[in-house]
Chains A and B, each alone.
Chain A
Amino acid sequence: MSTGIKDHAALSDLFNQDEARVDWHDETLWFVRAKRDKAANTLEEWEALRENASQIKDNVLSNLHDYLSEFESNAQKNGVIVHWAADAAEHNQIVHSILKAKEITRMVKSKSMLTEECHLNEYLQQNGIEVIDTDLGERIVQLAGEPPSHIVLPCIHKKKEEIGELFHEHLGTPKGASDPQLLTAAARVHLREKFLTRRAAITGVNFAVAETGEFVVCTNEGNADMGAHLSEVHIACMGIEKIIPKRANLGVFLRLLARSATGQPITTYSSHFRTPRAGQEMHLILVDNGRTQQLGRADFRNSLKCIRCGACMNTCPVYRRSGGHSYHTAIAGPIGAILAPNLDMKQYADLPFASTLCGSCTNVCPVKINIHEQLYKWRQVIVKEGYADPKKAIAMKTMEFTLSNPSVYRTAGKAGRWVMKNAPFLVNNKLNAWYKQRDMPTPPQQSFREWYKKNNNE
């Protein structure tokens, strides 16, 4: 999903052309954040649960190799065919080869952010395979020809009237119909036919349990189950960090996941897949795609704790006012901004700067990823690697010189205040991004230092 050369700031500027829509987007996501707060507050052990989850993930990240090996061998004993993919391309090829062997050209897929990250749909389409996304939100953005704008709420940027238009065009609902119940019923009929006729289904994986070799898929719509149970071939795709040591750990993660994501106590379906049913093939693809590289970055390895709940997006005051597409990557928001530079530092150099470092993301994160601290650290890495705007680098050098020399600082300060007072047009103009929608402070007669020298009575 290339967005050309536009960066987060430019894409956000576009999004903000329609202020009423920004308000609507902000309030919709704030509503989800408020639901999350309410759900979290029903558990007095909430903070202890977060700490527990974070520590379980610490253990996983420190012993990833062992848990993956244990998981693989248990999954194989259960009759699952396990594949390993080093990167997105290999993952996509594995999926294609499984389908090719079965001469399957049409399939269904439930939500999987990993396949978004790997751009699987585009790849399969180029190879003549039709993919139908069965999560309602994902199906909507698929019909619109757009990527998801949120990892849990893929079409949160669309209004029901716009969805009505899409359904009228693609599913034949009456023109102008936007009643959610009517539209959902139409989607249900449309998708039911796909479930019944497609021979292969892809699902994501929320948690893979090393001690049993089973994996857990969480949905609200039951679409993962419908796809998997009606298909001859079930392919589950997961990033290698999705592993947890024991089944008992689910008692921590399942309680955190849905409360953090949508404010529900638990997802409607938490489906455990362990062995293929008679006559079915069950494949599981373990994907690295930069994860081991991130594991090797001491400052950023904790980002791999992410359970993809989306709470950091809902709470982020920037995300709510810039929209998921402004992040021009599969995983938007604060977590996306610390994951994406690992994959391509140049293309995503803008993302760690798309934040005020307010820290709300870190506070809502159910696995306690220090997201805003990592954003700060990515900024340092990106500048050092040479991906900063050269104009900014010059400005920073000038600032360094001024602020390191007290007399230069005082002269510059005085000159600046003089200019603002006597020649405000030099500051209050189009070149000053501050002034476009905000007034400058009124320059005072004297600095505090000047006042202090005259008045201090120590």
Chain B
Amino acid sequence: MTVGLFIPCYIDQFYPNAAIATLKLLQKLGVKVSYPLQQTCCGQPMANSGFEHLTTGCNELFIDNFAEFDYIVSPSGSCVLHIKDHLHSDGQPEKAIGVRKKVYELTEFLTDILKVEKLTARFPHKVGVHQSCHGQRGLMMSQMTELVAAPFSKPLHLLNMVKDLELVELSRPDECCGFGGTFCVAEEAVSVKMGKDRVADHLNHGAQYITAADMSCLMHMEGILKRRNSQVKVLHIAEILNAEEV
């Protein structure tokens, strides 16, 4: 099995530790992972702003970088959803369809393909889990509170394998954090209010860490936590699943 590691642009630039943890975790689980060096971005920032017609360059680049792998794995539900829903190519349409079918968000890949049932990680802290919307509702990584259906959650399934980790319950388990790509600056007032409310839910329930399968939501909540000088930290789920035993 060959796995291409897709690291979203903002993780590459601002949160390399989330990417390193993803790589190491996959390697620890015996997966042969390569990181194509010419990758940039999935094109979502443009597409969600209404400029999908400007994503041709990103699409072609993505296909060139990743078409050869058996699986493409990424520590971001949102970017994976964008590829799954919107990647297309007039020049190489079959390759585009192939890529869309084999791209996975990390916790999906661990749960559905590797069928991980045991991890060696230990993380002795109280953790609040933010269900990032695109991963949850788009990729259906967790059941959604709007639906009348049996509960499940791929991220929680994995976090429950982490030794000494204590999950905190939230009042609103799957409300959006308000990041929303360019929404966070175009609709600054509502975006910030949504972020403050989401952070407050975690703080009110005693979380020491907020984690998620999407770093963009965490970046948003981190911006709010830091402005308040809060001691609560954000951590990508890969960093917890890969936490060293102490």
A residues near B (Cβ < 8 Å) are 8-9, 12-13, 15-16, 19, 22, 26, 30, 37, 40-41, 43-44, 46-47, 315, 317-318, 321-322, 352-360, 362-364, 376, 379-380, 382-384, 388, 392-393, 396-397, 399-400, 402-406, 409, 413, 416-417, 432-434, 436-441, 443-444, 446-449, 451-453, 456, 458
Residue of B37, B51, B190, B226 contacting most chain A CB atoms (<10 Å): B190
Q: Does B185 belong to the interface (CB within 8 Å)?
A: yes
Q: Which of chain B's residues have a CB closer than 8 A to the CB of A322?
A: 189-190
B39 within 8 A of A: yes
In the bound complex, how far is the Cα of B180 from the Cα of A352, in angstroms?
Answer: 13
Contact B189 A13 (CB under 8 A): yes
Which chain A positions have C-beta within 8 A of B38? 406
- Chain A's closest residue to B219 (CB) is A441
Instruction: Please tell me if B231 contacts chain A, counting CB pairs below 8 Å.
Output: no
Q: What residue in chain A is nearest B175 (Cβ atoms)?
A: A317
Contacting pair B137 A438 (CB below 8 A): no
Query: In the bound complex, do residue A404 and residue B223 qualify as a contact, i.e. CB atoms below 8 Å apart?
Result: no
Q: Are B185 and A41 interface neighbours, CB within 8 A?
A: no
**Total chain B interface residues with beta-carbon distance under 8 A:** 77
Q: Which of A360, A436, A440, A441 contacts B137 (CB 8 A)?
A: A360
10 tightest A-B contacts by CB?
Answer: A404-B57, A438-B223, A356-B180, A379-B50, A363-B146, A383-B50, A359-B137, A358-B176, A358-B133, A439-B226
* Chain B nearest Cβ from A156, distance in angstroms: 17
Q: A403-B40, A404-B58 are in contact. Are A384 and B184 (CB under 8 A)?
A: no
Of the candidates A9, A37, A456, which one forms a contact with B186 in the assembled complex, judged by CB atoms under 8 Å apart? Answer: A9
CB of B193 within 8 A of CB of A403, answer no
Question: 22 A-B Cβ contacts within 8 A?
Answer: A12-B190, A16-B193, A19-B193, A47-B148, A356-B178, A356-B183, A356-B191, A359-B134, A363-B144, A379-B48, A379-B49, A399-B45, A400-B55, A404-B40, A437-B188, A438-B220, A439-B227, A443-B14, A447-B16, A449-B12, A452-B23, A456-B35
Kindly state the separation between the CA atoms of A9 and B180 in the bound complex, as whole angstroms.
14
Q: Is B138 an interface residue (CB 8 A)?
A: yes
B residues apposed to A, CB below 8 Å: 7, 9, 11-17, 19-20, 23, 32-35, 37-41, 43, 45-58, 61, 133-134, 137-138, 144-149, 172, 174-176, 178-195, 197, 219-220, 222-224, 226-227
Given A26-B197, A444-B14, 4 other A-B contacts at CB below 8 A?
A318-B190, A360-B137, A400-B58, A437-B192
Nearest to A33 among chain B residues (CB) is B146
Whether B35 lies near A396 (C-beta < 8 A) is no
Q: Which residues of B contact A444 (CB under 8 A)?
A: 14-17
Do A353 and B19 have beta carbons less than 8 Å apart? no
Q: How far is the CA of A267 from the CA of B179 in the complex (A)?
A: 37
A453/B145 in contact, CB under 8 A: no
Task: Please state if A448 and B11 are interface contacts (CB–CB under 8 Å).
Answer: yes
Interface of B is mostly: helix
- A352 contacts which chain B residues (CB < 8 A)? 50
Shortest distance between the CB of B75 and any CB in chain A (Å) = 10
The answer on a CB contact under 8 Å between A355 and B180 is yes
A440 touching B223, Cβ below 8 Å: yes
With A8-B187, A396-B51, A448-B7 given, is the CB distance from A438 to B194 under 8 Å? no
Most buried by B among A41, A376, A440, A452: A452
| Minimal beta-carbon separation of B12 from chain A (angstroms) | 5
Give min CB distance, B207 to chain A, whole Å. Answer: 19
Question: Bound state CA distance, A368 and B79, in angstroms?
Answer: 25
A380-B52, A404-B61 are known contacts. Are A437 and B137 too (CB-CB below 8 A)? no
In the complex, which residues of chain A have a beta carbon less than 8 angstroms from the beta carbon of B33? 458
Q: How far is the CA of A441 from the CA of B15 in the complex (A)?
A: 9
Q: In the complex, which residue of chain A has the Cβ closest to the Cβ of B221?
A: A438
Partner of A453, one of B37, B40, B174, B226: B37
With most chain B CB atoms within 10 A of its CB, the pick from A9, A46, A448 is A448
Task: Return chain A residues, CB-CB under 8 Å to B41.
Answer: 403, 409
Cα of A388 to Cα of B51 in the assembled complex, Å: 10
Beta-carbon nearest neighbor of A434 in chain B: B185
Given contacts A380-B52, A438-B192, contact A356 B176 (CB under 8 A): yes
Minimum Cβ distance to chain A for residue B129 (Å): 16
Complex Cα–Cα for A256 and B15 (A): 45
**Chain A contacts for B54, CB-based, 8 A:** 396-397, 399-400
Is B148's CB under 8 angstroms from A434's CB?
no
What residue in chain A is nearest B37 (Cβ atoms)?
Answer: A449
A446 to B17, CA, bound (A): 10
B219: chain A residues within 8 A (beta carbon): 441
- Of A354, A397, A440, which contacts B187 at CB under 8 A? A354
Closest to B149 in A: A47
Question: In whole angstroms, what is the CA distance A315 to B175 when docked?
Answer: 9
Q: Which residues of A contact B137 (CB under 8 A)?
A: 358-360, 362-363
Q: With A404-B61, A409-B41 given, is the CB distance from A447 to B12 under 8 Å?
A: yes
Write the chain A residue with the least CB distance to B197: A26
Which residue in chain A gives the minimum CB-CB distance to B22?
A448
Rounded to whole angstroms, the CA-CA distance of A447 and B144 in the bound complex is: 34
Q: Is the CB of A46 within 8 A of B148?
A: yes
- Chain B residues lying within 8 Å of A360, measured Cβ to Cβ, are 133, 137, 144, 146, 174, 176
B12 and A356 within 8 A (CB): no
One of B20, B40, B176 near A409 (C-beta < 8 A):
B40
Specify which chain A residues have a CB less than 8 angstroms from the CB of B50 in the assembled complex: 352-353, 379-380, 382-384, 388
